[in-house]
Structures are given as structure tokens and as C-alpha cells.
Amino acid sequence: MTYEEKCNKNTFRVKCGERSSNDKVEHSGSRNFFRGNRYFCWRPFICKMNIEGRILKEIKELQTNPPPGISARPKPDNNRHFDVRLIGPRDTPFEEGIFRLELFLPEGYPISPPKVHFMTKIFHPNIDQIGRVCLDILKSKWSPALKISSLLVSIQSLISEPNPDDPLDTAIAKKWKEDPEGAKKTAREWTALYAMQ
């Protein structure tokens, strides 16, 4: 497997099984290194990867093979800003709802995680009233190996399985803990009111 990364004006190639003494790599510390036949580039780093190429590849994948129940399209003038539509999972209080999200890829992507914001109101302990999402892969568990599609599938799974023990909205989490049937009823009502228009 061959990969190329552009580091400022230099280009280097690393092939599995070999490493050339002419490889040109710029890095800012001992956390960037060769181990065997692979180059590891960790934070902090100067190495400028071909980020736009990765983003375009992910966009193509989202268009040709989208995850079930998920639609994500970049804005016409900005490949880093996505409009996302997520269909509420079956057999949940969110079923048949169409939830709109905004997803933004910051300058540090894929080292830094995407920013995600629910535009559609949802009665969920892990999503607050201003649309922020409590999900570990949006913070400490993010990995550059993850992609937009895998993140959106994780958000879809989070909707399916609310976790009131790790809440973002404590009042809603309390309702899910103390009166789960009442919470599901409210979630269905909010879905009908906000996500079915």
C-alpha cells in the first residue's frame, strides 16, 4: 500500500516493507517517527496532509454509499460545512422523524473531530436544547481513522439508546430515569412537533 502526504513543499512516499533514506519529513518533535515501515504523525505536527483530498473522498463515499437513514451533503460554497438529515430509528420514540444537523470540519480535521449541532429540537438526555451532542467520539475518543459516515452512524445509535447516566441535559435525563414511559411519550410528541414538518 502506498500513500503520499505533502509536507510544506516536500513530498514523501512510504511503501510498506521499505523506507528510503531520501524520505523528506518535517515534524515538530519526537512524537513523529518511523516505526518499521510506517510513518506516524501525531500532534503537534507541521506535516500538512492532503486534507482536501480526504474530504472529497469522504463526500463521494457519502453520496455513493450513504449509511441507511442518513443523508449528508456539503454546502455548495464550502466542502467543510455539511447539511445532514438523519431519520429517527425504528422502534424508538424518534421513529419517522427527520432530524436536521449541521456538521463542520475544522481546520485541524482529521486530527480534530468534526463539530456537530442538532438544528431540530429533540427530547433526548444526550442532546441539549441548543443542539449540542454528548458523544465521546466528538471529544476524547476521536481518532483520525474515523470518518464522517462512522460519526453519523454513532449519532444515530445514540438517538436509539439514550443514556441518562451521561447526560448533557440533566432535567431531561432525570425524566428518562424517573419516568421512562413519560419521557418516551414526550419524545414522541417532540418528534411529531419538530421533526415531521
Q: Give catalytic residue positions.
A: 134
The bridge status of strand 10-15 relative to strand 33-35 is unpaired
Q: Is the peptide bond before 89 cis (omega within 30 degrees of 0)?
A: no
- Please report how the helices 148-160 and 51-64 are oriented relative to each other, as an axis angle in degrees rounded to 10: 50
DSSP helix/strand/coil, 27: coil
Contact residues for 70 (Cβ-Cβ < 8 A; gap 6+): 84, 85, 86, 87, 149, 152, 153, 156
